[in-house]
């Protein structure tokens, strides 16, 4: 799944969803320079996902230790109470994890990636390992689609689209770029951001206050985009940083090549 090009759309959806938790997004706003280093932040996230997916066990453990160490040194201020809080609080880590993994699964399946319900549940269960790496107790992390749905139903009353979430929304639609690249941003990036936003759950659209196209139209858009992106030769796509897939294939042999058709076996 993580070798599929629709992961980029899924990643933007995850950012939209994560921003709806007031404390989680406040932690990002106070501890991150994402406005001026958007590409760097995106690559650091891609590097972590790539390492935990395709790297060695040792590399994944080291990546997790680094994330835990950095998070353990940081704090933020609750915008409602003015009180400081640790950004590695289990509630916040769990929200970020679930918003991310749910987005990956939702976008890929909805865009036509071949995955059965049982395989989708297995995907969520396997990600309890990545949850452990960032500091969560795997026993408290949703292990299948039913548990994930129950989690989102439970956390829904605590979500809101405040000033921080709207700043993220504005940034994702119009990320700063070189003046010569503005036309490309408007033609290409804005479409990715709009498609990612459209794939959010209805309550997210309600909170952000912007309507989304009809669900059937969104699904068509995801499928068309997935078909077009999957038409790009895989090795060309895998040349993009951070090249984890190519390194894993070199280490494990050609039989390790990611291929969607294997999911149906």
Percentage of the chain beyond pLDDT 70 is 91
- Which portions of the chain are predicted below pLDDT 50? none
Task: Give the pLDDT of residue 190.
Answer: 79
Task: Give the pLDDT of residue 177.
Answer: 65
Task: Give the pLDDT of residue 186.
Answer: 61
Q: Are 207 and 20 in contact (CB under 8 A)?
A: yes
- Give the count of alpha carbons within 13 A of 146, CB side only: 1
Largest CA distance in the chain: 55
What distance in Å separates the CA atoms of residue 78 and residue 72, rounded to the nearest whole number? 17
Task: Give the pLDDT of residue 261.
Answer: 65
Task: Give the pLDDT of residue 260.
Answer: 73
Task: Give the pLDDT of residue 128.
Answer: 96
Task: Give the pLDDT of residue 242.
Answer: 81
């Amino acid at each position: 799944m993580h070798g599929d090009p629709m992961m980029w759309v899924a990643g933007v959806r995850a950012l939209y969803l994560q921003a709806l938790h007031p404390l989680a997004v406040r932690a990002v706003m106070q501890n991150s320079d994402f406005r001026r280093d958007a590409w760097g932040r995106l690559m650091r996230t891609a590097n972590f996902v790539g390492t935990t997916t395709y790297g060695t066990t040792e590399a994944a453990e080291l990546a997790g230790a680094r994330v835990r160490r950095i998070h353990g040194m940081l704090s933020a201020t609750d915008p409602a109470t003015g009180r400081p809080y640790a950004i590695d609080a289990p509630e916040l880590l769990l929200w970020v994890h679930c918003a991310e993994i749910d987005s990956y699964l939702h976008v890929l399946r909805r865009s036509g990636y071949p995955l059965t319900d049982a395989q989708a549940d297995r995907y969520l269960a396997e990600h309890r390992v990545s949850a452990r790496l960032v500091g969560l107790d795997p026993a408290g992390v949703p292990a299948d689609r039913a548990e994930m749905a129950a989690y989102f139903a439970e956390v829904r009353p605590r979500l809101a689209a405040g000033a921080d979430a709207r700043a993220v929304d504005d940034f994702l639609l119009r990320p700063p770029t070189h003046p010569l690249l503005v036309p490309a941003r408007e033609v290409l990036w804005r479409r990715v951001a709009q498609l990612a936003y459209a794939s959010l759950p209805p309550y997210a659209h309600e909170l952000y206050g912007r309507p989304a196209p009809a669900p059937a139209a969104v699904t068509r858009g995801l499928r068309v985009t997935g078909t077009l992106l999957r038409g790009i030769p895989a090795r060309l796509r895998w040349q993009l940083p951070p090249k984890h897939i190519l390194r894993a294939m070199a280490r494990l042999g050609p039989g390790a090549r990611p291929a969607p058709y294997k999911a149906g076996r």
